Structure 1
Amino acid sequence: MKKRALAAAVMLSLLSGCGPAKEKKAEAPAAGTTPVVNWRMTTTYPSNLFLIGTLAKRLSDTVRTISDGKVNLKLYEPGVLAPPFETFDAVSYGAVEAGWSTPGYWAGKEPALQLFASVPFGPPAREYLAWFDYGGGKEMFEKIYHKHNIHSIMCGLEPPEASGWFKKEIKSLDDFKGLKIRFFGLGAKVMEEVGAAPQLIAGGEIYQALELGTIDATEYSMPAIDEKLGLYEVAKHYYFPGWHQQSTFFDLMINLQAWNKLTDVQKAQIETACSSNIRYGISEGEAKQVAALKRLEAKGVHIHTWPPEILDGLHKAWDKVAADMAKKDPTFAKAWTSLQAFRKDYKTWSERGYLKE
């Protein structure tokens, strides 16, 4: 009986094209196969919103492709798993594994995170990236998030935004006094300094707030995005340049325990997808603004450029805001000092290397 069983096993092995020794080796890789990762990713922006939303969808698709389906970030629209402004807590507590947002929304958690989103009168994309990657920004950024059980990766970067939509023309700094305006990040602090009444409203609620008169003005994003929200229908005065957001970072927040469970290859796949997203955000963001501006002008929008005296006044207000925040928060002071020092040194290159437009 034993001989017949052994003969049958050998015959089966021969028919399958391998001997007993080869069959034993083939079992080893199966035991060490990397498990498939299936994460839930909530977002603060609708996925159909140009760039700031579509970049999240692109990230999900790219990670799935380069991991050959082994790493999946299933994207959920705002409010399905967590309200937009509760994304930070949802990721920190592990209610979801990942979240798509911008660090500037989490001033209430860590004021310094705003410096990793956008900075009034701050650097353009190339300079911002240089500071983050090679000027010490990334190390500070990760340390801040790790305190809250989050590992975050810079995963998108957009070109300058518009300065905002106003129902009435702004002719002097005094016109900001008492103005009810939706504003984001550190720019909102500047608005407050010049006498405005800023408030943070989610993107999907801005149109109605303007229409009902809850606010008199709003900033949100760049022309190609603002157009999608239909803001031109309820406010006709559109101002440039976006002094408050010359470039804006978006990040992929990941629960720290979930991140630590990944293999080195899986981590590299996510980081690579994010790097690709940054390049794509800059190139598509720059390419789509011209056509959007032309369409807005055709719809009767009055496009304005801020006069030097107003920009000077806003800049002075920002300098005061930054100094006050640095005094109150050591982490903010450290990041702000680092960015200022880098920008000062960077001028020795940028003023020589780039043509003045």
Structure 2
Amino acid sequence: MKASLAATSISIALAGVAMNASAAEDKKVLLKVPVAFATSLPGLGSPIPKVAEQIELVTNKSIRMKVYEPGKLVAPFEILDAVSQGKINAGYTTAGYWAGKIPASPLFSAVPFGPDAGEYMAWMYYGNGLKLYQEMYDASGYNVHVLPCAINPPETSGWFAKPIEKPEDLQGLRMRFFGLGAKVMEKLGVSTSLLPGSEIFPALEKGAIDATEFSMPAVDTRVGFHKVVKYNYFPGWHQQSTIFELLINKGTWNDMSAGQQAALSQVCKASMADSFAEGEAKQFAVMKENVEKRGVHIMQWNDTMLDAFRGAWTEVVAEQTANDPMFKKIWDDMSQFREEYKLWGQNAFLPRK
């Protein structure tokens, strides 16, 4: 990781030298960037202000970003359409929000029982991931250029009012759940809804939902779920890592110089490393405080529950690949990469426990 960060920093520095030399020739670009997550949320919304700061420095202010908090310019679930149509020229969000428009999109956000951050980035940058990511938007008719711009470590997999010990305990629950994991929960009798971050706590507090998942402990605690429900489950089988995207209108992207495009790409790549490091660093202290000061129970899914989730996920994959050719194309490519990666992944790392 240190070598990767050093290499990325060198790339950015070199890009910065090139950009400073040519800044007088480049058109000034102002990216107005509505975000899907409050910038106060660590690792979730916090990366994009850092990107805004760094891109201005690297390009000698030939690219500037103005970041808008959720709902201030565009509602979170409207960002993709707004960027594609040119109503705004950029947006920061996650592809999993577009599942209703593009069934394959959650594969570029988070995959149940899927790759952790290292493996996900390996497929994205050194497999076919990035190429397929852009192809998906192009084939779906969206006029956007996509850059992966942050990645989070595992999330918690839910906050519940009581322990969940068997699949039957999920029957009839109303739960906020994200992405492909929601389809798994529905197979197990949960009624799911996808609420933006700002709406989850009010829904939980008023009893409109019984349980929720959202993000990592440092984020969930800041939102306040522990005030209503006390059983916090791990591991995050549904989101072992989560990618966030910077969408740029293609007209805006094509108007940039090659140097500006390279600088933005490299700053986003650096943000992937930084956001992952931030996410890893900020969870354990919050988890300790949750137990000692907030009465939270840190729970582990038993084997029966993990088997039930995995079995339901197998059914979801079969349905999605049968119903959507793009989903199948991406899934098959990711699965082939992961199968080959196993030789490395299963031999290289020490067990966690």
Structure 1-normalised TM-score? 0.90
How far is the alpha carbon of 1:31 from its aligned partner?
A: 12
**Aligned amino acid, residue 223 of structure 2:** L
Deviations 1:314-336 (A, max 9, x none): 00000100110000000000101
1:280 aligns with one of 274, 278, 281 = 274
Deviations 1:251-306 (A, max 9, x none): 10011111011000100111111011000011111111110101111210011000
**Residue of structure 2 in register with 1:97 after alignment:** 89
Matches within 5 A, 1:233-252: 233-252=227-246
Aligned-pair identity in percent equals: 43
**Matches of 1:77 and 1:350, distance apart in 2:** 38
Q: Secondary structure at the match of 1:69?
A: coil
**Matches of 1:30 and 1:197, distance apart in 2:** 55
How far is the alpha carbon of 1:33 from its aligned partner?
A: 2.2
**Residue of structure 1 in register with 2:117 after alignment:** 125
Matched, 1:322 2:330: no
Contact 2:43 2:276 in 1 (8 A): no
**Matches of 1:198 and 1:30, distance apart in 2:** 51
**Matches of 2:236 and 2:203, distance apart in 1:** 21
Runs of 4+ more than 6 Å apart: 29-32
Could you say if the C-alpha distance between residues 30 and 346 of structure 1 is closer, same or farther in structure 2, counting changes exceeding 3 Å?
closer
Could you say if the C-alpha distance between residues 174 and 33 of structure 1 is closer, same or farther in structure 2, counting changes exceeding 3 Å?
same
Could you say if the C-alpha distance between residues 352 and 77 of structure 1 is closer, same or farther in structure 2, counting changes exceeding 3 Å?
same
Q: Secondary structure at the match of 1:204?
A: helix
**Residue of structure 1 in register with 2:202 after alignment:** 208
Q: Secondary structure at the match of 1:198?
A: strand
**Residue of structure 1 in register with 2:175 after alignment:** 181
How far is the alpha carbon of 1:103 from its aligned partner?
A: 0.7
**Residue of structure 2 in register with 1:36 after alignment:** 28
Unaligned runs of 5+ in 1: 1-28
1:82 aligns with one of 74, 78, 81 = 74
**Residue of structure 2 in register with 1:139 after alignment:** 131
Could you say if the C-alpha distance between residues 32 and 224 of structure 1 is closer, same or farther in structure 2, counting changes exceeding 3 Å?
closer
Q: Secondary structure at the match of 1:215?
A: coil
**Residue of structure 1 in register with 2:265 after alignment:** 271
Matches within 5 A, 1:138-157: 138-146=130-138, 147-157=141-151
**Matches of 2:44 and 2:325, distance apart in 1:** 30
1:226 aligns with one of 220, 230, 238 = 220
How far is the alpha carbon of 1:32 from its aligned partner?
A: 7.1
Deviations 1:119-146 (A, max 9, x none): 0011111111111112211111111123
**Matches of 1:122 and 1:83, distance apart in 2:** 29
Unaligned runs of 5+ in 2: 1-20
**Residue of structure 1 in register with 2:43 after alignment:** 51
Q: Which has the larger radius of gyration?
A: 1
2:339 aligns with one of 344, 353, 356 = 344
2:64 aligns with one of 53, 64, 72 = 72
Q: Secondary structure at the match of 2:53?
A: helix
CA RMSD in angstroms comes to: 1.4
Q: Secondary structure at the match of 2:232?
A: strand
**Aligned amino acid, residue 184 of structure 2:** V
**Matches of 2:298 and 2:350, distance apart in 1:** 26
Q: Secondary structure at the match of 1:282?
A: helix
Q: Secondary structure at the match of 1:111?
A: coil
